Structure 1
Amino acid sequence: MQNKSDEKGWDLIAGKLNDELDANEGKIFDDWLSERGNRQVYEQSEKLHQQIQQTKLIDQIDTEKAWRKVDQKSWTPKGISRKLMPWLGYAAIFLLALLIGSLLGGRNNFKHSAEMCSVTVPFGQTSLVTLYDGTKVWLNSGAELRYDAGFNIENREVWIDGEAFFEVTHQNGSPFRVNNKKGIVEVLGTSFNVESYLDDDLIKVTLEEGVVQFKSPRGKLLRTLKPSEQVTLDVSVDKMKVEKVRTDLFTSWKEGRLEMDKASLSEVVKKLERWYNVDIRFATPEVGEIKLTGTILRDRPLDQILKVFERLYGYSYDFTVNADKKSEITLYVKQPNK
């Protein structure tokens, strides 16, 4: 249990952060802040408070459960007095309950249990998650991020289904591991994209900066990637390909763009299906082989994009709206360009 002094200290921090201290309490807070170790605790609490304001998940936090977890903590970082640990422990647990960082947008399906936390992004949306170690994770439509509730700067391991871009904070001697049923990506500090949806046999890792190790699900090293390299593994035939690529073609989605450089329409359609939560079919297979170059902006209506396809490539389309499932679009060649 916290003693009365600890509880008073936390009351002062909470009051200061919420601008609720009167003049007398403000003087008491200033005196408390001048004591050894207290400023560091307050600054960490202030940073946490700012992160909390960026999310809309605060109503989901069980504060009583959080306090009970704090009572079980016994760690004591250097430079902070033991009597202040309950506040710092509370901050850490509170931060974990809030997605181990700031969750931007507030439209995600957030789940938290004693063992695992998860974030699921609906089709048609993207999200940015900042983990407790400072690592930033952009999640694309339909992606799910999971991590152990004990995630911290020493234990950095996540699981991903779908597509995500990672900007990993470097921690000496503490690798960051991204797990997927098709493979494992392990790094110390770098920027890379992982694409591996459950309904696709491919896993694709694109390295922007740094160095990553791509491993099998059992941990066997398959390839060490250098900047601008991409590894693609087709698990259905156990075939791997490594090539140099323009990384912006595979990472621009996090800025709301789809960059194409001689991309097949069948590849582009997979992205559009997830962006707009629709099913797109081809009247004949050759329609999907057409190559596209250019940029598609995510904030454009789908029918506007389809009309551009029709004007530039001679496509036409049928749009079938289904109330009980995804709407369906059929693309066919009406009058191909000469």
Structure 2
Amino acid sequence: MYNIYKRYNMMDETIVYRYLSGTATEEEKLQLLDWLKTSPENKAAFFDLKAIWHAKHSISPGNRTSDQLKDSLSVINERIDRFVPINKKTVNHLWKRWAVAAAVILLGFISISILYKVPKVTPDTDIVYVNQSPDSVRKVFLPDGTLVWLNTHSSLTCPSEFTGDQRLVELQGEAFFEVVKDTLHPFVVKTKAMMVKVVGTSFCITTSPDGAISKTTLQSGSVQLLRADGKKLVTLKPGQQAVCSEETDRIEVRHVNVDEYISWRFDLITMSGVKVFSIIESIESLYGVNIKMDTTAIKDNRYNFSFRKHKGASDALRRLSYMTGIPVDTIR
């Protein structure tokens, strides 16, 4: 059978099915993510295949409907193969024909499931992703294709499959999200201090160790900040950051250099327009060292400073000394 995905330079459906079944490799997951970002049509195609896959796996093994569904899709592909695409308009037309045919088959097998009273399998097991590493970032793909960078000493809890009206996850620590857009099912991140609601966007959330303070930094798109009871607090625009306190229910919104708050994904610590005291405090906190430096002559100066986290305190201090022209040492 000539695969419609390969013919139209689209994602191989076998990779999509391996992703949905949890057997895709990391390379295939990244390939799928890049394909989803290419166009809205690709995302629509993904959700069509996802619907078919779930329909196939919600039918009991006792019925032969699973094989019948696979055979029916093969017949559809064979029929489409008889047509020769001439231009983009023709390709879109054929794709619509395939989608409609697949939908008809899907409805037919849903009817069969209802007739035989076969219950739909709805996993209710939560998955907890934990990054206990002190010096590396963990990348995680969620069931909907959303990509998450989980920072050190952080954890993320989500269901094994998103069901219902929203895609809800819970965060403790720090994470950067690239959310797959789904206007019908908003993506919601819950922390102890607040909830963040999005449709499809890129943003970072940081919580304090006790969870009482939550910081949201928006790179692209739009996010809504909500209280635990669902009351809307504020809507952020790209380049804005909101800090929320659980105790006071107070929220502060400000404009920031977003790269400064999300560059940790690439092992880079970045600070912009800060005094030397803030740089010293950051290095001490990150590496657990005490720094000795005479800052009298430069205490009011502001600097842009960055360093690679994995290279350790000695490299950061060397850069600091070179930038300021003042010797730096550590106190044991």
What is aligned with 1:169? 180
Which of 293, 314, 318 aligns to 2:326? It is 314
Cα deviation code 1:44-68 (max 9, x no counterpart): 334458964339xxxxxxxxxxxxx
User: Which residue pairs with 1:187 in the alignment?
Assistant: 198
1:1-338 equivalences under 5 Å are 42-47=14-19, 52-54=24-26, 74=58, 81-83=65-67, 115-121=125-131, 122-151=133-162, 155-199=166-210, 201-235=212-246, 237-264=248-275, 268=279, 272=283, 276=287, 278=288, 291-311=302-322, 312=324, 314=326, 316-320=328-332
Give the superposition deviation at 1:209: 1.1
Distance 1:253 1:316, change over 3 A: same
Q: Deviations over 1:95-132 (max 9, x none)?
A: xxxxxxxxxxxxxxxxxx96321111122111111112
Query: Is the 1:205–1:232 Cα contact (8 Å) retained in structure 2?
Result: yes
Q: 1:224 to 1:149 in 2, by over 3 A?
A: same
Instruction: Classify the secondary structure of the residue corresponding to 2:253.
Output: strand
Q: Which amino acid aligns with 2:58?
A: S
Alignment size in residue pairs? 239
Specify the SS of the correspondent of 1:150. coil
Flag the structure with higher helix content.
2
Q: Is the 8 A contact 1:132 1:153 kept in 2?
A: no
Partner deviation per Cα, 1:197-254 (whole Å, 9 max, x = no partner)? 3247532111111111011222221101112111112445543211222211211111
Q: In the alignment, which residue of structure 1 is the partner of 2:37?
A: none
3-state SS, counterpart of residue 45 of structure 1: helix
Partner residue in 2 for 1:333 = none
Distance 2:262 2:235 in 1: 20
Are the equivalent residues in 2 in contact too, given 1:195–1:203 (CA < 8 A)?
Answer: yes
Q: 1:159, 1:178 within 8 Å by CA — same for their partners in 2?
A: yes
Q: How has the CA–CA distance of structure 1 residues 284 and 145 changed in structure 2, closer, same or farther, with 3 Å as cutoff?
A: farther
Q: Is the 8 A contact 2:284 2:291 kept in 1?
A: no
SS at match of 2:328: strand
Q: TM-score, normalised by structure 1?
A: 0.58
Amino acid at match of 1:172: T
Question: Distance in 1 between the 2:173 and 2:292 partners?
Answer: 24
Structure 1: give runs of 5+ residues left out of the alignment.
Answer: 1-29, 32-39, 56-69, 87-112, 321-338
Q: CA deviation at 1:292?
A: 3.6
Cα deviation 1:276-331 (Å, max 9, x = unaligned): 4x3657899999987441221234232121233344263634354xxxxxxxxxxx
> Relative to structure 1, is the Cα distance of residues 187 and 138 closer, same or farther in structure 2, using a 3 angstrom cutoff?
same
Which is strand-richer, 1 or 2? 1
Per the alignment, do residues 254 and 159 of structure 1 end up closer, same or farther by CA in structure 2, a change over 3 Å counting?
same
Shift of 1:136: 0.8
User: Given that residues 218 and 236 in structure 2 are in contact (C-alpha distance below 8 angstroms), is that contact kept between their aligned partners in structure 1?
Assistant: yes
Q: Are the counterparts in 1 of residues 289 and 330 from structure 2 also a CA contact under 8 Å?
A: no
Indicate the percent of aligned positions where both proteins have the same amino acid. Answer: 24
The residue type equivalent to 1:145 in the other structure is: L
Shift of the 273–52 alpha-carbon distance from structure 1 to 2, 3 Å rule, reads farther
Amino acid at match of 2:149: W
Instruction: Tell me the distance in 2 between the aligned counterparts of 1:250 and 1:152.
Output: 31
Q: In 1, distance between residues paired with 2:329 and 2:198?
A: 44
| Structure 2, unaligned runs of 5 or more | 3-11, 28-53, 71-122
Residue deviations 1:161-200 (CA, integer Å, cap 9, x gap): 1111111111121000000001100011111111113247
